[in-house]
Amino acid sequence: MNIKTMTAGFFALDAVLIGIGAFLYVRQDRTAPVIAVPETALVYEETMTQEQLLEGVTAYDAKDGDVTDRLFIEKISDMADGRVLVTYAASDASNNVSEKSRILEVRTTGHNIQQTE
């Protein structure tokens, strides 16, 4: 076998492998789900459960469809003005992750202090 034929064969093989790699890369799902948070006001209380904070929040992925069951609270952060920032996250089957935050007012539990004279 001569060297020109071998070289042409390697170039052809490289072209096929590059084509397969490009095809697989283009077909990958790299789009994260979209999180929808209801516009209704929610008041945060320290005793709230994750289920209460997730109420009405949904997640949809273009490839996987409804991924609300893969939605979770990533963190709850106190803000300087006394409100809290709740950050939601959702993932799809390809492990693409999206986040969305929501600012909530905080309900303070006032303690009735009785003064004695």
For residue range 44-57, what is the model confidence (pLDDT) as tens digits? 998 999 999 999 99
Q: Taking 80 as the threshold, does the pLDDT of residue 27 lie above it? A: no
Q: Which amino acid is at 33?
A: P
Average confidence (pLDDT) over 2-9:
85
Give the separation between CA 13 and CA 19, rounded to whole angstroms: 10
CA 13 remoteness from chain centre: 40
Q: Which of 4-8, 54-58, 72-76, 79-83 has the lowest mean pLDDT?
A: 4-8
Residue 22: pLDDT band with limits 50, 70, 90: confident
Count how many residues are written for the chain: 117
Average confidence (pLDDT) over 67-90:
95
| pLDDT score at 113 | 42
**DSSP 8-state symbol, 33:** P
| pLDDT score at 23 | 77
Instruction: Provide the whole-model pTM.
Output: 0.71
The answer to whether 59 and 34 have CB atoms below 8 angstroms apart is yes
Give the separation between CA 56 and CA 33, rounded to whole angstroms: 16
